[in-house]
Structure 1
Amino acid sequence: MLRRAARAVLQRHGLEGKAALSVALVDEETVRRLNRTYRGIDAPTDVLSFPIPVELSPGVRYLGDVVIAFPYAARQALREGHPLEGELVLLTVHGVLHLLGYDHDTPRARRRMWGIQREILHQLGFPEVAPPDG
């Protein structure tokens, strides 16, 4: 399911077969430690992305790593009334978009990123977890 979500993002950007990445499901303490080390925020979060653009072979790039805090995601799904699978797909799509350079730090960037997330989540059959217009 997470592979399918990552692949959908790559397909949308014409990168299927041209890019690789990893998605890791970890505990909250691991994400908290990563968040503190790399972002200076000593708190857990749902997903972190670590771009590591490197060429693996001619025409194939390694984009980086997406790290999802599974317990955090499970609580978030419950709180939002989403199926856990949908929440994990959303976080995967979100994380891969960050690897591709998308962000949500301005209203315009947020609308763009959220729109792509919605499109991909609908395509994958999880429209109920798509974030509202931003």
Structure 2
Amino acid sequence: MDLEIYDETNGQVTDEQKKLIKNVLDFAAKEIGLKDNTEMSVTMVNNDRIQEINRDYRGVDRATDVISFAIEDNADDFPVVMSDEMLAEIPENIGDIFVSIDKVNEQADFLGHSVDRELGFLIVHGFLHLNGYDHMEPEDEKVMFDLQRKILNDYGLKK
């Protein structure tokens, strides 16, 4: 997977945390069978910045932990005739995840588990949203949260 990680926290995110983000996303991508040439980004921010994003895009004027922006597939709007081989080579950008490092630290402390576990949880949660998973309905929540738990446990980020 082609992953760009941006740090807008003035160095609050360590190199080890960036490596964790990459590794857990690669692991999750394999778990759900994502194509190798999938593209996405993760931007690490602080509470002030994620509050701005939350306010501007969701109409909620408070800091949150993770926000996902999935890129909608509008391929039907512009049909292009290509062979299956050519289509398989075109990278698919699935979207962007924003995570507040402040919330990662606050929630890890509050929940009594490691910062790595909380960071991994939020990254996987946002990633699953980018891939069409949701938790608005109880049956969807069960599917998403069971998969999220499986990915984190199998990766080694247990509670």
- Same fold by TM-score, threshold 0.5 exceeded? yes
- Superposed CA RMSD in Å reads 1.6
Q: 1:58 deviation in Å?
A: 3.4
* 2:78 is the alignment partner of 1:46: no
1:54-91 Cα deviation digits (max 9, x unpaired): 69x83320111110000011000000001001100110
Counterpart of 1:19 in structure 2 is: 38
Correspondent of 2:139 among 89, 108, 117: 108
> How many residues are treated as equivalent by the alignment?
127
**Residue 66 of structure 1 contacts residue 96 of structure 1 at CA under 8 Å; is this kept in 2?**
yes
Distance 1:60 1:69 in 2: 27
Instruction: State TM-score, norm by structure 2.
Output: 0.75
SS in 2 for 1:127: coil
Q: Which has the higher strand share?
A: 1
Distance 2:68 2:143 in 1: 18
1:104 partner amino acid: H
Correspondent of 1:92 among 120, 123, 126: 123
Instruction: State TM-score, norm by structure 1.
Output: 0.89
List 4+ stretches of structure 1 deviating above 4 A.
none
Q: Runs of 5+ in structure 2 lacking a partner?
A: 1-19, 76-87
1:70 partner amino acid: I
Distance 2:24 2:43 in 1: 13
Correspondent of 1:5 among 8, 16, 24: 24
